[in-house]
Structure 1
């Protein structure tokens, strides 16, 4: 029995116990990218199962919203500790199902623990009714309430299957909602582990459901029946879901695709920049929404940075195991291997130069691909502008900082960026980058892990934000309750409309 098999038994037992189904269903296989082995199976849900899950969730939510925000926060606090209690099993499960190396799986469980702890501390204050000024001081007052929406649907991807099934759900649960998660079919078990742990933490039954199956089958009934949709995935799919959510007048938030840029400026700390750039490219084998696929290097440091970076990329230890020492794992599937290979082969055929990698590594794992560095990349190549979602990066020489900024912004995407320069200067440069998050002298962690700050994409990289106060309040319906304490705000007796207009004009000018 492998570590993956053991983790499944210890955490889940049987997948059937945790997936919501209304009847006996056909089954799908769970295949590990580490060795291509079929490990277990799970029931594939139908639209009726979505209806059942939402119905149960909605019934449970009526009681949950009456639970105090402090008691809801206590569940999140306990979950944060449970994640660490089950660290080994979670690492083994995520690795076995996704193929990422141990250090990258650790980022996932760390994120969930941090998110749970953050909202456990922050949610009660955010959800407390807030007094705000009324239109007439002393004569009026207003209070803002934040009510839960009801049932939040989370459609999560395969690349960070534990984090993205659970972290968004935690904010929704803290706000008083129920959650139905539809994970990617490649990584159903990680979402089930999320359900196991939130229930161990004390979340009442039926507040967190998992339905597994094809998005084209389960997505429409999920959107039709939910009160809000959170999606993480491709821009193309995000556009379709946004249309469906719009037709149902359902709130929608999404983190979508990216073609993220990293800038190495003339005053960059080169040694740190090389190490950081490698991490930015190879994390989760490049299958990270905020990983780097474009590097712009100022001419003044090109000859220093590029040889060191290429050498470092060639030294990346690619493996398919559970060892902490392995740097990068295989891609998730044969389809993803095909996409990455096609992008690189297209670039090579059109004149790109391969400085490192550029080939599959079938001797390591069925879907492994070498960390790849390209240069001489031109706009007619697919890899230049399309999201590759693999360990492939293109290097571009630029004359100065202005050109680096302009070229970084020359993309339909705007999810994440990394800038290596003087920290003070980096702030001003970062503010000019058209990306939802920008990390200075860090690959991506410093921005992602800033839990008090919002995270999301500009342009075609998304709509709405996770993290920060916004990441929780988006799952609420704001309500204003205002009171006129003495007299309705209208014309008093004996004054007349004209006199009243002059009084209001004087008041408004003074209030300004």
Structure 2
């Protein structure tokens, strides 16, 4: 496609409203109250939290240090020893109550998410919805996932064996800024329902959404000391957190994830890491074009592309490439950018100057090396300091950073392919393997291609939400996209230690002393093993 035919771009219509000076339902008293929930022994400078929409200061939180972290872990550990003995039904009621209150008070948290992260309200609502879904799911399924299970014993009829699940103790969470509610609370929910205490370090750029959720959990009946929050730079307090807990969960960059894995390994504790992504969308020749174009807009530009499961590589069959890209460009240019605290905006701001500079650097380098801009491609300081237009690039080549590295912004590169095998090969040509999507009217073909794509989750005819919202099934990455899973049975059992309890009713399972007795024992056991081999169900 010739870029000149679609090059003019206003990057969306003017914003409906500016959030500068407009804070919705969020006042200073509320922010001060939330800040007071941080575990801090005091005596240090506060950290300013900025409004991405305007660059103004939203509020302040304490700058914690290692001593604060250790105190937070101590408090959570004391509360956990009591909490671990509470009845599952009691825990269930707390989280169902939390579910209801998140929904009933959603306007408050929607304002807060927008003000902290800069995202559009429609995208902030995904956080509200997901938090409610995960709360309900684990409240209703935790007991089943964690109940003791009878296992096959060593000697049929004589050995009774159970597998049990006990809480790790205190679980540490390091959460990022891009989904300040979801990623601070939805992984902690199964950890708490499994009987653990929690110490959370939210990103210092977006701490208030996490603190709001913790306050709501306490209001719903969670013991106040069970869920501790520390705020500060990860480089300053992250090592102390790993040293102080029994399990560490991290969502963020692959580079930081490697360091956390090394530190956890030194302490010999488990970790769960959801890291970067360079996610691919494959549009086959028989795809529903209207639905696929709408899915591409959603998958590429939700939350300004600042999502680990955002689509950054778009592979379209050559038979429909021209038509698809033309429609995709039209839809992208029509997106409404702005900072209003309502549903009239299609895409909000990036969260920080750091992220804006990273996006600009990727696009500028690609253009300098020959890539074409089909839509967007520039910042919008007229709307706010960190706004960047949703951007579509063509003719992206392998030597460009935008080809291989995660951009984490509203930028997607489009490519042609001519066969299904080529599409799969190109989608798999990445060090990442977090999420992907396949678009086709042939469900069998879609399933077959999804099986070949090397990613932790693959959606068919949906950009990301189908797998993300299927919380009974695990979600996570492979390759450089991380280790461990959230959601489903794996998402709660990882916060437990499995224990085997075996009750033997027969003689001791060891050869008796003496040559004759030992020989008779070995003959008897050999015969039994040969007999069991032929009995179905014993194996």
Same fold (TM over 0.5): yes
CA contact under 8 A between 2:28 and 2:59: conserved in structure 1? no
**Alignment partner of 1:128 out of 123, 126, 147:** 147
RMSD (Å), alpha carbons: 1.4
Are 1:267 and 2:286 matched, yes or no?
Answer: yes
Size of the aligned set, in residue pairs, is: 512
**Alignment partner of 2:509 out of 483, 489, 496:** 489
**Alignment partner of 2:405 out of 374, 378, 386:** 386
Instruction: Give TM-score, length-normalised by structure 1.
Output: 0.98
Secondary structure of residue in 1 paired with 2:503: strand
Are 1:479 and 2:503 matched, yes or no?
Answer: no
Question: Which residue of 1 is the match for residue 373 of structure 2?
Answer: 354
Aligned partners of 1:192 and 1:8: how far apart in 2? 15
Cα distance, 1:494–1:45 mapped onto 2, change above 3 Å? closer
**Alignment partner of 1:412 out of 431, 435, 441:** 431
Superposed CA deviations along residues 341-365 of structure 1, whole A, max 9, x for unmatched, are: 0000000000001101110011011
Are 1:280 and 2:299 matched, yes or no?
Answer: yes
Cα distance, 1:3–1:114 mapped onto 2, change above 3 Å? farther
Equivalences for residues 72-471 of structure 1 within 5 A:
72-422=91-441, 423-471=443-491
Cα distance, 1:11–1:38 mapped onto 2, change above 3 Å? closer
Aligned partners of 1:151 and 1:23: how far apart in 2? 23
The Cα shift of 1:5 comes to 6.1
The Cα shift of 1:27 comes to 0.8
Are 1:50 and 2:50 matched, yes or no?
Answer: no
Cα distance, 1:488–1:93 mapped onto 2, change above 3 Å? same
Question: Which residue of 2 is the match for residue 17 of structure 1?
Answer: 36
Question: Which residue of 1 is the match for residue 17 of structure 2?
Answer: none
Question: Which residue of 2 is the match for residue 509 of structure 1?
Answer: 533
Aligned partners of 2:169 and 2:22: how far apart in 1? 38
The Cα shift of 1:58 comes to 0.4
The Cα shift of 1:6 comes to 3.2
Superposed CA deviations along residues 14-45 of structure 1, whole A, max 9, x for unmatched, are: 34321100122201111111111112111111
Superposed CA deviations along residues 470-509 of structure 1, whole A, max 9, x for unmatched, are: 0000000000001112222234768624413422431442
CA contact under 8 A between 1:265 and 1:297: conserved in structure 2? yes
Aligned partners of 1:426 and 1:7: how far apart in 2? 45
Aligned partners of 1:457 and 1:10: how far apart in 2? 40
Aligned partners of 1:380 and 1:21: how far apart in 2? 47
Secondary structure of residue in 2 paired with 1:113: helix
CA contact under 8 A between 1:330 and 1:369: conserved in structure 2? yes
Q: Which moved more, 1:220-229 or 1:33-42?
A: 33-42
Aligned partners of 2:465 and 2:403: how far apart in 1? 25
CA contact under 8 A between 2:316 and 2:414: conserved in structure 1? yes
CA contact under 8 A between 1:69 and 1:127: conserved in structure 2? no
Question: Which residue of 2 is the match for residue 71 of structure 1?
Answer: 90
CA contact under 8 A between 2:160 and 2:504: conserved in structure 1? yes
* Unaligned residue ranges in structure 1 (runs of 5+): none
Aligned partners of 2:201 and 2:235: how far apart in 1? 11
Secondary structure of residue in 2 paired with 1:145: strand
The Cα shift of 1:133 comes to 1.5
Aligned partners of 2:33 and 2:59: how far apart in 1? 9
Question: Which residue of 2 is the match for residue 500 of structure 1?
Answer: 524
Aligned partners of 1:260 and 1:452: how far apart in 2? 22
Secondary structure of residue in 2 paired with 1:253: strand
State the 4+ residue runs in structure 1 displaced beyond 6 angstroms. none
Cα distance, 1:3–1:194 mapped onto 2, change above 3 Å? farther
